[in-house]
Amino acid sequence: MSCSNPSQRNLKKHLFVTFAVFFLTLFVIIPLFFGTAGSQAAAAKNKLNILLISIDTIRPDRLSCYDSRYIKTANIDGLARRGLVFERAFAHTPLTLPSHINMLTGLTPPYHGVHDNARFRLSPDILTMAEYLKERGYSTGAFVGAFPLDSRFGLNQGFDVYDDHYGTKARQEFFYIERSAEKVIDVSLAWLQNQRRPWFAFIHLWDPHQPYNPPEPFKTQFRQDLYSGEVAYVDSQLGRLFSFLENKKLFEETIIILTGDHGESLGEHGESTHGYFAYNSTLWVPLIIVAPGIKPGRINDYVFHIDLFPTICELLGSQQPKNLQGISLLPLIKGKRLPERQVYFEALYAYYNRGWAPVKGFFEKRKKFIDCPLPEFYDLDSDFEEKNNLIAQVSLDKYRQMLEELEKRLTNPQGSQKQIFDAETLERLRSLGYVAQPAASKKVFGPEDDLKTLLPLQEKFARAMGGYHHGQVKEAIASLQEIIAARPNFDLAYSYLSTIYKREGRIMEAIKILREGLANNPQSYSIISSFGILLAESGFPDEAISVLQIGISLWDYDPEMWNYLGLAYYSKGELDRAYEAYERALALDPDYPIVFNNLGSLFLSRFLQDNKEEDIKKAIDYFQKALSLDPELVSAYNGLGGAYKKLGRVKEAIGCWQKALELNPSYDFSLYNLGLAYFELGDKKEALKYLEKYLAVKKNISTREKEKIMALINQCRSQEN
Distance CA 107, CA 309 (A): 9
Residue 333: pLDDT band by 50, 70, 90 thresholds?
Answer: confident
Mean of the pLDDT values across residues 47-62? 97
pLDDT for 434 beyond 60: no
Least trusted range by pLDDT, from 230-239, 564-573, 686-695: 686-695
pLDDT of residue 676: 94
Outline which parts of the chain fall under CATH 1.25.40.10. Answer: 423-591
| Element holding 585 (H helix, E strand) | helix 575-588
Output 1 or 453, whichever has higher pLDDT. 453
Helix%, strand%, coil% for the chain, nearest 5: 50, 10, 35
What is the pLDDT confidence band of residue 57, given thresholds at 50, 70 and 90? very high
Helix 559-571 to helix 541-554 angle (10° resolution) is: 160
State percent of the chain over pLDDT 90: 76
Q: Would you call the peptide bond into 665 cis, given omega within 30 degrees of 0 as the criterion?
A: no
pLDDT band, very low/low/confident/very high, at 355 (cuts 50, 70, 90): confident
When the candidates are 1.20.272.10, 3.40.50.880, 3.40.50.2300, 3.40.720.10, the CATH number that belongs to 12-341 is 3.40.720.10
| Cα–Cα nearest to 597, from 567, 561, 558 | 567
Q: What is the pLDDT of residues 135-157, one digit of tens each?
A: 999 999 999 999 899 898 999 99
**Residue 552 has what DSSP assignment?**
H
Query: d(Cα 463, Cα 272) in Å, to the nearest integer?
Result: 10
Predicted confidence (pLDDT) per residue in 81-122, tens digit: 999 999 999 999 999 999 999 999 999 999 999 999 878 899
Q: Where in the chain is the domain with CATH 3.40.720.10?
A: 12-341
**pLDDT band at residue 20 using 50, 70 and 90 as cut-offs:** very low
Please give the pLDDT value at position 611.
Answer: 93
pLDDT digits (tens, 9 = 90+) for 308-317: 999 999 999 9
Spell out a b/e string for 605-636, using b for 16 or more CB atoms within 10 Å of the CB, else e: bbbeeeeeeebbebbbebbebbbebbeebbbb
Among the residue ranges 102-111, 457-466, 641-650, the one predicted with the least confidence is 457-466
Query: 11-25, 153-167, 437-451: lowest mean pLDDT where?
Result: 11-25
Q: Is residue 373 a contact partner of residue 446, using CB atoms and an 8 Å limit?
A: yes
Q: What is the pLDDT of residue 443?
A: 72
What was the pLDDT predicted at 166? 77
3-state secondary structure of 426: helix
Question: What integer pLDDT is reported at residue 38 of this predicted model?
Answer: 40
Cβ–Cβ < 8 Å for 622, 649: no
Model's pTM, two decimal places? 0.83
pLDDT in tens, 235-257: 999 999 999 999 999 999 999 99
Q: What CATH number is given for 423-591 in this structure? A: 1.25.40.10
Q: What is the mean pLDDT of residues 361-376?
A: 97
pLDDT tier at 418 (50, 70, 90 boundaries)? very low
Q: What burial letters (b/e) apply to 668-698, b meaning 16+ CB within 10 Å?
A: bbbbbbbbbbbbeeeebebbbbbbebbbeeb
Type and span of the H or E element at 648: none
Alpha helices in 469-555 (DSSP H): 473-486, 491-503, 507-520, 525-537, 541-554
Predicted local confidence at residue 16, as pLDDT: 29
What are the DSSP calls for 53-111, one per residue? EEETT--GGGSTTT-TTS---HHHHHHHHHSEEEEEEE-S-SSHHHHHHHHHHS--HHH
* The predicted structure's pLDDT at residue 35: 39
Burial-class residue 226 by CB neighbours within 10 Å (0-12, 13-18, 19+).
Answer: middle
Alpha carbons 226 and 231: distance in angstroms, whole number: 9
Q: State the Cα–Cα distance between residues 321 and 535, nearest whole angstrom.
A: 47
Neighbours of 38 (CB within 10 A): 9
CB 510 within 8 A of CB 426: no
The C-alpha atoms of residue 493 and residue 506 are separated, in whole angstroms, by: 16
Return the axis-axis angle of helices 491-503 and 507-520, rounded to nearest 10°. Answer: 170
> Between vectors from CA 547 to CA 544 and to CA 550, what angle results, nearest 5°?
145
Reported as a pLDDT band with limits 50, 70 and 90, residue 466 is confident
Residue 177 has a pLDDT of 80
Q: Give the pLDDT of residue 213.
A: 92
